[in-house]
């Protein structure tokens, strides 16, 4: 359950006058439950890409525990991410034609960060717990709320110390969105992973222990 330290982070894209994201100092405690919020274009996805190692950090320090992502090349970042982070996206990113269980196992077959038998056992446990009673069902036949729960089971089957979710409830109706929010909070309380959720959902924001508000790539002071 690593803590996150950011120092002097500055991410720029060609054609933009100001940095897309500039964070002089940010510390998140191990096991923190953090909402990341802000208007469209404020830098949420840029933040997620930087702290998950999806994007290379060229200026500044992004350290999870003892690992400074800015110092790792792409292959090492990919390996670190597979072993350390579960990612949940708005549009689930599930593979149609594969069963719920095969979707859960796919990243573990590829990364081998964890023995496959362990990922399978944990995946079965999580799918059962999430009410996905037919793990052999093809994912495209599930409801959207069920699809998101399969995506969460996939993210957690490797027992990561960090879970990062990008708008996990945005494409769900209010009821399924609330259920997914409940699930994320319940699981983080049980397992203690550090949770970062980018969201516009005020109900979910209100239930997190800390709220980071981005505007034009900068963090607003916290209350």
Ligand X SMILES: Nc1ncnc2c1ncn2[C@@H]1O[C@H](COP(=O)(O)OP(=O)(O)OP(=O)(O)O)[C@@H](O)[C@H]1O
Interface residue list for ligand X (CB under 6 A): 13, 15-16, 20, 38, 40-46
> Which residue's CB is nearer to ligand X, number 36 or number 163?
36
- Whole-Å CA distances, 135 to 11, 109, 147: 41, 17, 12
> Which residue's CB is nearer to ligand X, number 13 or number 206?
13
At a CB cut-off of 8 Å and minimum separation 6, what does 27 contact? 3, 4, 5, 6
- Minimum CB–partner distance for residue 116 and ligand X (Å): 34
- Minimum CB–partner distance for residue 55 and ligand X (Å): 9
> Which residue's CB is nearer to ligand X, number 106 or number 211?
211
Number of residues that this document lists for the chain: 223
Bridge partners, 138 (sequence order): 99
Q: Which helix (H) or strand (E) holds 68?
A: strand 67-68
User: Using alpha carbons only, what angle is made at residue 174 by residues 144 and 124, rounded to the nearest 5 degrees?
Assistant: 40
> Which residue's CB is nearer to ligand X, number 19 or number 135?
19
What are the phi and psi torsion angles at 127 (to 5°)? -60, -40
- Minimum CB–partner distance for residue 66 and ligand X (Å): 27
- Minimum CB–partner distance for residue 213 and ligand X (Å): 11
> Which residue's CB is nearer to ligand X, number 41 or number 115?
41
- Minimum CB–partner distance for residue 33 and ligand X (Å): 20
CA proximity to 68, closest of 9, 127, 19, 14: 9
């Amino acid at each position: 359950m690593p803590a996150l330290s950011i120092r002097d982070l500055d991410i720029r894209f060609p054609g933009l006058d100001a940095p897309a994201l500039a964070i002089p100092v940010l510390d998140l405690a191990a096991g923190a439950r953090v909402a990341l919020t802000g208007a469209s274009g404020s830098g949420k996805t840029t933040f997620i890409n930087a702290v998950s190692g999806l994007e290379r950090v060229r200026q500044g320090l992004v350290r999870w525990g003892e690992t400074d992502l800015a110092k790792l090349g792409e292959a090492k970042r990919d390996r670190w991410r597979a072993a350390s982070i579960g990612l949940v996206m708005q549009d689930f990113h599930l593979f149609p034609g594969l069963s719920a269980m095969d979707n859960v196992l796919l990243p573990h077959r590829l990364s081998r960060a964890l023995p496959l038998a362990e990922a399978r056992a944990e995946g079965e446990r999580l799918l059962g717990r999430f009410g996905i009673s037919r793990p052999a069902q093809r994912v495209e036949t599930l409801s959207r709320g069920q699809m998101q729960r399969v995506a969460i089971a996939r993210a957690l089957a490797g027992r990561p110390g960090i879970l990062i979710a990008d708008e996990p409830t945005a494409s769900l109706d209010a009821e399924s969105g609330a259920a997914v929010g409940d699930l994320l909070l319940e699981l983080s309380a049980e397992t203690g992973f550090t949770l970062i959720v980018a969201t516009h959902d005020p109900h979910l924001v209100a239930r997190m222990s800390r709220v980071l508000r981005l505007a034009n790539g900068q963090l607003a002071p916290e209350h």
